[in-house]
Structure 1
Amino acid sequence: MKQLFCLLVFLGASLFAESWAQTNSCQTVELYLYAKDNSGLIADANIRFWRPADSLSYRLKTDSLGRCRACLPLAQKEYQVQIQHKIFSSQTFSLQLDGSDSTIYKKVGLDRLPGYLLELSITEFLQGQGDSLAAGEYSLEGVTIEIYNKTQYKQELRLVEHPHHEISFLMEQGNEYIFMLRKQGYYSKRMRANVNVNDCILCMEGFGELTPGVAESLTQDNSMGTLVSNVNLRPLAVGEKMKLDNIYYDYGSSQIRPESYATLDQLAEMMRDNPNVYMELSAHTDCRGSKAFNLELSQNRANNVVQYIQERLPNGADRVKAQGYGESKPLNSCVDGISCSEELHQQNRRTELLVLDVVDDEDYINRPLASIMQEELESEILAANNSSYFKEKDPSQQKAQQKPTIPGPIPPNYSGYKIELSRSQESPALDHPIFMAFSTVFLDIDEQGFISFMVGDYSSEEEVNKALDKFRSRFSKAKAVYYKLGIRQ
């Protein structure tokens, strides 16, 4: 339980003792911090008092009521106060002690920083319990938690086998974040958050239900605030069956309908993030029609779904098997000769997943998310290299088929390696083939006015040189460039 008043912690212990011995007196100062948007008092703020005359410094924190109390030595009556908090603006001001026995009370309002503080808790999904598990009841510790900033191409957080089931993370405006949760014996889970980027003010994918915090709520325009989310991880179990909803075909056809793509894309991502899982994907029909026709139809449907998934998996052809069972495995009594309602027939028309095997894959569990994201980026680039967008065609057709990337400058705080694909003195048009083919392109302009097209993000010379071999098959003049704090070296 938090103390009603925070304890004073000072760095210059010896200086404090000397000052105290000289004056043997102090004056009490009590601060109250509150949010200017009326969302409540501010707890856990870092407060620092220091004296300009001798650099004596004291550090403390606000309690759950946004309050801190300190007794400051009167040897020097002028102090500077610095306030810092992870989701509120910093503030510094001067404080003058009057030397009396009276306590000095001061209220300080802070502006909330644009963005969202995400309070994330992780629990275990228990079969038959649904998704509404209370955080703490089934809390799951030891999860590797990672957050990757896809906008700035850097890893923001990596907690290997985190000993707690909760984290707090500030999502800043203008960024796309990828969250990855992994634990041996559980399905890995990937989530996305777009914060005022990619045409989203706040788009959260894979987090389940999001609620405002108890003490801090969202602001009226949803530009900042606190979000609370509980995420379930599902244990891996050989022999487990899972029904796939929202997969549709036309009557008597094996052709997948477009409204099924979202579900299949999620399935492909789940398989990609769990390379240690081998599955059977099965299709089932109802009993209407001949057994031979239903068997062939279900096999063709399963084949088409598996083909769709395999095309989106790196080296995944052997991890998912297609199997059609026709009408041979009904879930109810609707078989030939039995009159059934359409609802009962619908129960038998289904697509299922069966877990065939789970192999140990500690290398993947321990592999940093930044490395995984880099590999995916390389795959996108290589796929783009082989695409028809590099062939001469009607520019209007290019625009109709793919929205061009909006290029940006090298971030000022970026340090690492990028690959220069080409270099030109001509200003590129928005429908330039590189913008049409790559998801992210940076432009770097040198003092002579040459424009370089930069892609990728590599932390070491070894990594970038390995990637260069792939790029040079299409871009013969591609080369590695190192940046330090946004400056080309």
Structure 2
Amino acid sequence: MKTIYLLLFLISLSSAFSQNTESVNKQYFHLKLKVLDVENHKSLEGTSLKLYTKNKPQEIDSSIIKNGYAIFKLEKGNEYELLVQFDEYLTQRANFNAACYLKDSSKVFCVSGIDIEHISKLSKQSNLIEASISMKRINLNDVFGVERIHYDFDKWEIRKDAWEGLNNLIQLLKDNPSIKVELGSHTDSRSDEVYNMTLSQKRADAAVNFIVKKGKIAQERIIAKGYGESQLLNHCKDGVNCSENQHALNRRTEIKVLGYKTNNKLLEQQRGTAISGARN
């Protein structure tokens, strides 16, 4: 009987030692994060921050910006996503691929959406990362581009390589449930003006249909508008000799903010001005 008790004691001791060793071997970094207005660089006090891990979709930590910053403790080897929300501002996401240092020992982690300002060593197991994230205030008529939405020549069907850009837009609409937008499709000046207007409208319709169906976004939150060649970004109008890169600048997809809700009040453009084009 004593032998059995001794064996159980040794097993428990070994387990405790193993857990303790694992704890010692774990490495962490502390993120000291500021949230700033992208234009005036003022601190956005009261901003809500929610932390998630990729392997655990549920929220694991949260904080509010107070006295200029918030602090999170993150473990190296985990992948994190940070959701940043503040009233009247577009929600921001930041991604930490903390496992990337395993592939390249010179890296502490890989990050997108955050500006790293300073890194200091706290101990062998921990670093302090001081960083900031910028947020943009929502304004009516704000226009921003949507990358990686391409179409085959003379076609309007959504290609697979356009899914990433459209999925990013779906995420934007889900992160900002109060905004209404217009999706505008633009062409270069080549081909007939009327033809380009029709083609761009079909492309905008196809993109909006994809977003509504795949993203389950409410129909009334996004409107399709084809602009054809009517809003060129450079001098490449009919009859002007331009390079392919110059023409490509005009072939673009843009999002315009038509309305948003703040303090339970809906701010929206008047119908008949900015709200035009086909409703899907």
TM-score scaled by length of structure 1: 0.43
CA contact 1:180–1:188 (8 Å) conserved in 2 = yes
Tell me which of 212, 230, 233 is aligned to 1:328.
Answer: 230
Q: Which has the higher contact order (CA 8 A, sep 6+)?
A: 2
SS at match of 1:318: helix
Structure 1 237/258 Cα, relative in aligned 2: closer, same or farther at 3 Å? Answer: same
Tell me which of 187, 207, 215 is aligned to 2:113.
Answer: 207
CA-atom RMSD, angstroms? 3.3
CA distance in 2, matches of 1:344, 1:158: 45
Q: Which amino acid aligns with 1:120?
A: L
Q: Which residue of 2 aligns with 1:177?
A: 80
SS at match of 1:306: helix
Report matched runs for 1:9-48 at 5 Å. Answer: none
Tell me which of 45, 49, 59 is aligned to 1:155.
Answer: 59
Structure 1 225/311 Cα, relative in aligned 2: closer, same or farther at 3 Å? Answer: farther
CA distance in 2, matches of 1:149, 1:342: 42
Tell me which of 113, 116, 121 is aligned to 2:34.
Answer: 121
Q: Which residue of 2 aligns with 1:193?
A: 96
CA contact 1:272–1:314 (8 Å) conserved in 2 = no
Structure number having the greater helix percentage: 2
SS at match of 2:236: coil
Structure 1 287/315 Cα, relative in aligned 2: closer, same or farther at 3 Å? Answer: closer
Percent sequence identity over aligned pairs: 27
SS at match of 2:93: strand
SS at match of 1:359: strand
CA contact 1:181–1:189 (8 Å) conserved in 2 = yes
CA distance in 1, matches of 2:103, 2:140: 39
Residue 289 of structure 1 pairs with residue 191 of structure 2 = yes
Residue 261 of structure 1 pairs with residue 261 of structure 2 = no
Report matched runs for 1:376-391 at 5 Å. Answer: none
CA distance in 2, matches of 1:267, 1:322: 14
Q: Which amino acid aligns with 2:197?
A: L
Q: Which amino acid aligns with 2:30?
A: L
CA distance in 1, matches of 2:88, 2:63: 18
Structure 1 165/264 Cα, relative in aligned 2: closer, same or farther at 3 Å? Answer: farther
Residue 274 of structure 1 pairs with residue 176 of structure 2 = yes
Q: Which residue of 1 aligns with 2:15?
A: none
Structure 1 173/334 Cα, relative in aligned 2: closer, same or farther at 3 Å? Answer: closer
Deviation string for 1:83-138 (max 9, x for gaps)? xxxxxxx9xxxxxxxxxxxxxxxxxxxx6841322222211112xx9xxxxxxx53
Residue 145 of structure 1 pairs with residue 45 of structure 2 = no
CA contact 1:118–1:171 (8 Å) conserved in 2 = yes
Residue 164 of structure 1 pairs with residue 67 of structure 2 = yes
SS at match of 1:213: strand
Deviation string for 1:340-380 (max 9, x for gaps)? 34343223221111111112366xxxxxxxxxxxxxxxxxx
Residue 306 of structure 1 pairs with residue 208 of structure 2 = yes
SS at match of 1:254: coil
CA distance in 2, matches of 1:268, 1:281: 12
Residue 240 of structure 1 pairs with residue 135 of structure 2 = no
Question: Structure 1 residue 181: deviation in Å?
Answer: 1.1
Deviation string for 1:308-347 (max 9, x for gaps)? 3223434432211111111122223332233334343223
Q: Which amino acid aligns with 1:123?
A: L
TM-score scaled by length of structure 2: 0.72
CA contact 2:29–2:73 (8 Å) conserved in 1 = yes
Alignment: residue pair count: 239
CA contact 2:120–2:129 (8 Å) conserved in 1 = no
CA contact 1:276–1:361 (8 Å) conserved in 2 = no
Any gaps of 5 or more consecutive residues in structure 2?
A: 1-19, 265-280
Structure 1 310/229 Cα, relative in aligned 2: closer, same or farther at 3 Å? Answer: farther
Larger radius of gyration: 1
CA contact 1:239–1:356 (8 Å) conserved in 2 = yes
Deviation string for 1:251-278 (max 9, x for gaps)? 2222334333322222211111001111
